[in-house]
Chain A
Amino acid sequence: MKGCYTGMGTDKRSLVNVKNLKKYFQMPRGTILGENVYLQAVDDVSFHIDEGETLGLVGESGCGKTTCGRTMVRLYEPTSGHMYFEGQDIFKLSSKEMIPVKQKMQMIFQDPYSSLNPRMTVSDIIGEPLEVHSLITNRRERMERIYELLNLVGLTREHANRYPHEFSGGQCQRIGIARALAVDPKFIICDEPISALDVSIQAQVVNLLEELQEQFKLTYLFIAHDLAMVKHISVRIAVMYLGKVVELADKLDLYDNPLHPYTQALLSAIPIPDPDVERQRQRIILEGEVPTPINPPRGCRFKTRCKYVKPECAEEPPLKDVGGGHMVACHLI
């Protein structure tokens, strides 16, 4: 496995390779003649995901992790950058050329209720991608495939003719997973798939995602803010702060030896469900709040909250490899 971590996408085995991805949103102007103002949601992000791997993408709300995921499948048009999927830069494709690519990339959304059309039955929801990509020829085939998918995600064929409101949150998320699996994808972006679910249900869905990954050799980008769960499911983890990746490493490496001050604070902020451990832990409490991405601090974006801040931090630190694929963007290292 070590061989895969050779840095920035020189490796042919990488299924997904994101290079210098930027996504800026134009904000409404204050005055008619005013300058264009941009919200820099994702600013120069690069990473790669190997086949069959799970990359975790973590960060606080507003750090650009969801935008990053959505831009990768072109739900948003990128401002600049490249996204190589199986060696092909999909940002250069026309919308027609995108259709077969989209079949290989699917998404599971955060809110299980609002991501399913309330006026469609479960079989219509799961059947729609099959029709769009012409994967079925007749009705019988369609229903068989739908039953097979329902079975895969732990539902039964009796559920096929019901509507989303008849299901609990965990079951809705299973339907969303079945819909994503319908087209036989290689790569699935899971955008906070469990954060709307109850604790006891979260484990059910995570186990299901892991079983499916094993069975179909899926590659995941797992976006979440629950670091404990991300650590559980991922191979490597990227930490984002204000539109930038500040640290990227193998998960154990990241948890045992976090190098960026933000990662250190983030990890120490997470309470561990063990009273003895909690009593002994020293917490790094970050002062202040995340600055706005409309006018982010120049240089290192974390400098306004960092306690180790130095004059060099006025310049932007590059994301560099400090050994073993552990990458960090900080002048202190």
Chain B
Amino acid sequence: MVDKLLEVEDLRTSFFTYAGEVKAVRGVSLHVNKGEAVGIVGESGCGKSVTALSIMRLIPSPPGKIVTGSVSLYGKDLLKLPIKAMQKIRGKEMGMIFQDPMTSLNPVLSIGQQIGEVLAFHEGLKGKDAANRSVELLKMVGIPSPEERLRQYPHHFSGGMRQRVMIAMALACSPKLLIADEPTTALDVTIQAQIIELMNDLRERLDTSIILITHDLGVVAKLCTRVIVMYAGQIIEQGSTDEIFYNPKHPYTMGLLKSVPRLDEIEKRKLVPIAGHPPDLISSLKGCAFNPRCEYAMKICLRETPEIMDVGPDHKARCWLINKERANEDDVIQGQKNVK
């Protein structure tokens, strides 16, 4: 029996704007086991960051609101906790790394003060103890001469170094779960490699579970054991990394894999883009959200939203194609391939 650390059930988060309700997350259910790295991939606006923020209860409200659902960490429903109790969990049980290391640190506080704040709040460490622990943390994430660095301010650090500081802060209280929202998108590839290596190392040494949100399939292949693919606020496919990469079932996942060029390709092949663009979540979607871009779209896809179904052990997909009873190949809409 594997240990389930985090379980999210039917999470729905909306933003209430002047233009109407934007359903950013539309019924996401997922779980994270102990010591596992789960990747969430998808295009911008697919709801992957909102899912992460909902788990941390950091959705700006108003306009955002978690409409329904439950997020349980070790069986404790986080969405029902009072704010004070949630603050005790945030940073202690769950840490988060944000996308932009340039703007996520406070520019007028030294690095030592910022790490110290976390330690004082959760562990009650002050003065020398806090400083010693901070030095330890900076050492762990590979920042040279940590004693001096502690007195410096964020502008003294480069992008990669700031991301390391962010990771050190997120790990300050050895959380069980680390949520990394595009941790390397703003960084150069050689620095990205350093950060990925660091995260992998921390997972192995400290047995931390990781949720990695990214759009880079290469990073997922390197770091994650399980992958969740999101589209228009829903999970459209999930499974082990091998299943998703070698045996994708949803046309969107297949499209994503075909649209990226690979460095190790010898023969040049034409890229196969996914035609069209993602839907606007403000309008109500009828049928499968991917149907306007799908080359296999059938009549049923326009009418009804498919349920997520098992396609194998540890592999699920949300597509009418795998529902053999209801899918009818004759139904394929002709000319769909040429959507622009």
Q: Which A residues have a C-beta under 8 Å from some C-beta of B?
A: 60-61, 154, 168, 170-171, 198-204, 206-207, 225, 227-229, 231-232, 252, 255, 265-278, 283, 285-286, 289-290
Contacts and interface: CB of A to CB of B under 8 A. Distances in A.
Nearest to A232: B261
Contacts of B275: 204
A154 B340 contact: yes
Contacts of B262: 228, 272-274
Contact of B261 (A229, A252, A269, A271): A229
A276 B222 CA distance: 9
B193 A227 contact: no
B44 A278 contact: no
Interface of B: 43-44, 158, 160-161, 188-194, 196-197, 215-222, 241-242, 245-246, 255-257, 259-266, 268, 270-275, 277-278, 340
A283 B188 contact: no
A72 to B, nearest CB: 23
A269 B273 contact: no
Contacts of A231: 261, 263, 265
B227 to A, nearest CB: 9
Contacts of B273: 200-204, 207
A270 B189 contact: yes
B120 to A, nearest CB: 31
A200 B270 contact: no
A60 B272 CA distance: 27
A286 B190 CA distance: 7
Contacts of B44: 198
A285 to B, nearest CB: 6
B197 A203 contact: no
A232 B271 CA distance: 9
A91 to B, nearest CB: 30
A58 to B, nearest CB: 10
A228 B219 CA distance: 13
5 contacts: A203-B260, A252-B266, A274-B264, A275-B246, A290-B188
Q: Which 5 A-B pairs give the minimum distances between C-beta atoms?
A: A271-B218, A203-B273, A273-B217, A232-B261, A269-B193
Given A199-B43, A275-B241, A269 B192 contact: yes
Most B CB atoms within 10 A — which of A266, A271, A283?
Answer: A271
